[in-house]
Amino acid sequence: MSLLNRMGTVIKAKMNKLIGGMEDPRETLDYSYEKQLDLLQNVKRGVAEVTTSKVRLQLQRAKLVQNSEKLEVQAHEALQANREDLARLALERKNTITSQIESLDKEIATLEVEEEKLVAAEKRLSTKIEVFRSRKETIKAEYSAAEAQVRISESVSGISEEMVDVGMSIERAENKTEDMKARSGALDELIDKGTLVDFTAPQDDIDRELAKISQKGQIESELARLKSEVGK
Amino acid sequence: MIVRIIGQGQFDVRSGLYDDLNKIDNKIVEYVQKGDEKGYKKSLAELIGVVLREGKKVPDKELFESSVIVPPADMTLEEARQVFRGEGIFKG
C-alpha cells in the first residue's frame, strides 16, 4: 500500500475518533466546536512553549559566546606569559565551545521553523473555527434534520481534518522541544560546572579521529594567529 | 483536487498531478522498504515540493476535505515505517 493511501487512512481514523459517537447530528456541531476551542488553546500553549525553549537556547548561546571570548583572552595572556601549554588548553576548550554554539544554532533554527509553523496553524485554525461557528448557527436555524445532516457532515469533516493536522503538528513540535529541553538541561549543568565536553551527535571511530585531526589543525592555526598578535 | 500537507495546510492542484504524486509515492515505498534514508528524504521533499510549486493555497476560511494527505516534511524513515505498520504517533 502506498504512503499517501496510508496517510489518508490514518487521518480518517483520527477524524472519526474526534467526532464519532454523537446521536443527534446537531449535537455533533456543538461538540466539535467545543473541541475546536480546546485545540486552539492547545496551539497557543504550544506556540508559547516553543518560544520559551527558543529563548532558553538563545540565553545558553549567549553564555557560551561569553565563555569563548574569555578563553580567547586567556589564551592571549598565556602566550604573553610564555605559557604555550596553557594557551593550547584554552584554545582546545574554546574549540569545543565553538562546536557547541554551532549545534545550538541549528537547534534554534529548528525551533524557529516550528514556531512559524504553529503560528500559521493557529491563524488557519482560528479562521476556520470562526467560519464553522457561523455555519453551525445557520444550519441549526434553517435546515430540517435531514438536510442538516448533509451540511453538518461537510462542515465537520472539513474542520476535523484541520484539527487532526494541527493536533499532529503540536505533538511533533512538543516532541522536538522535549528532546531539546533534555539536552539543554544537560548543557546547563556542564556550563555551570565548567566541564564542557563536546556531546554533539554520536560519531563512529573514523569520524572522531578525523574530527580530532581537524580540531588540532584549527588549534594550531589559532595559536599561530595569537602568537603573531602578541609578537612572539 | 485538494491536497493537504500535514503542518502546512491545503493546496488546490490540477487533478492531472495525481499521477505525478503517485509516481513519487511509489519511489518512497521502495525506499522505505529498502531502508534507504537518503532516497526516502529526497523523494519526500520532491513530493512536497511538487505540491507547493503546482498548488494554490486554499484560503483559510474554506472548510474542505482533502483528496490526498501528504506527510509532514520532517517525517523520518522510521516514522514512515510506523505509518505502514499502523503504529507510532501517526496511529489512528
Q: Which residues are B4's β-sheet partners?
A: B10, B69
Q: Where does the pLDDT of residue A22 fall: very low under 50, low under 70, confident under 90, or very high at 90 and above? A: low
| Residue B22 burial class via C-beta count within 10 angstroms: exposed 0-12, middle 13-18, buried 19 and up | middle
* Contact at CB, A7 and B60, closer than 8 angstroms: no
CA distance A10 to chain B (A): 5
Q: Is-contact B83 B28, C-beta < 8 A?
A: no
Which has the minimum average pLDDT: A85-89, A132-136, A192-196, B31-35?
Answer: A192-196
Let me know if residue B11 belongs to a domain.
Answer: yes
Let me know if residue B89 belongs to a domain.
Answer: no
Let me know if residue B76 belongs to a domain.
Answer: yes
Predicted local distance difference test score (pLDDT) of residue A202: 53
> Which triple of cell numbers denotes residue A147?
438536510
Q: Which residues contact A170 (CB under 8 A, 6 or more apart)?
A: A42, A43, A46, A118, A121
For the stretch B9-62, pLDDT in tens is 999 999 999 999 999 999 999 999 999 999 999 999 999 999 999 999 999 999
Q: How far apart are CA A100 and CA A121, in angstroms?
A: 32
ipTM of the complex: 0.89
Q: How far apart are CA A103 and CA A97, in angstroms?
A: 10
On whether any CB of chain A is under 8 Å from the CB of B7, the answer is yes
Let me know if residue B62 belongs to a domain.
Answer: yes
Let me know if residue B90 belongs to a domain.
Answer: no
Q: Mean per-residue pLDDT for A21-39?
A: 84
Kindly state the percentage of chain A with pLDDT values over 90.
49
- Which residues from B are below 8 Å from A165, CB to CB? 4, 6-7, 9
Let me know if residue B92 belongs to a domain.
Answer: no
Q: Where does the pLDDT of residue A38 fall: very low under 50, low under 70, confident under 90, or very high at 90 and above? A: very high
**Range of the structural domain that residue B38 is part of:** 2-83
In this complex, how many residue pairs, one in chain A and one in chain B, have their CB atoms less than 8 Å apart? 95
Q: How far apart are CA A223 and CA A72, in angstroms?
A: 10
* Contact at CB, A172 and B72, closer than 8 angstroms: yes
Q: Where does the pLDDT of residue B72 fall: very low under 50, low under 70, confident under 90, or very high at 90 and above? A: very high
Predicted local distance difference test score (pLDDT) of residue A48: 93
Does the pLDDT of residue A199 top 50, yes or no? no
B39-67 burial: b if 16+ Cβ within 10 Å, else e: bbbebbeebbebbbebbeebebeebbbbe
On whether any CB of chain A is under 8 Å from the CB of B6, the answer is yes
Closest Cβ–Cβ partner in B63, B89, B91 for A159? B63
Does the pLDDT of residue A198 top 70, yes or no? no
Q: How far apart are CA A117 and CA B45, in angstroms?
A: 17
* Contact at CB, B84 and A175, closer than 8 angstroms: no
Q: Where does the pLDDT of residue A47 fall: very low under 50, low under 70, confident under 90, or very high at 90 and above? A: very high
Q: How far apart are CA A225 and CA A201, in angstroms?
A: 30
For the stretch A167-187, pLDDT in tens is 999 998 888 888 888 777 777
Predicted local distance difference test score (pLDDT) of residue A154: 82
CA A118, A120, A124, A127 dihedral sign is positive
How many structural domains compose chain B? 1
Predicted local distance difference test score (pLDDT) of residue A188: 77
On whether any CB of chain A is under 8 Å from the CB of B16, the answer is no
For the stretch A48-71, pLDDT in tens is 999 999 999 999 999 999 999 999
Residue A171 or residue A195, greater confidence: A171
Q: How far apart are CA A226 and CA A221, in angstroms?
A: 9
Let me know if residue B91 belongs to a domain.
Answer: no
Instruction: State the distance between the two ends of chain B, measured CA to CA, in whole angstroms.
Output: 24
- Reading phi first (left if > 0) and then psi (alpha if -120 to 50, else beta), residue B72 is in beta
Q: How far apart are CA A170 and CA A174, in angstroms?
A: 6
Does the pLDDT of residue A84 top 80, yes or no? yes
Predicted local distance difference test score (pLDDT) of residue A35: 92
Does the pLDDT of residue A196 top 70, yes or no? no
Does the pLDDT of residue A24 top 90, yes or no? no
Closest Cβ–Cβ partner in B6, B61, B84 for A6? B84
Q: Is-contact A12 A4, C-beta < 8 A?
A: no
DSSP string spanning B27-50?
Answer: HHHHHHHHT-HHHHHHHHHHHHHH
Let me know if residue B19 belongs to a domain.
Answer: yes
Predicted local distance difference test score (pLDDT) of residue B88: 56
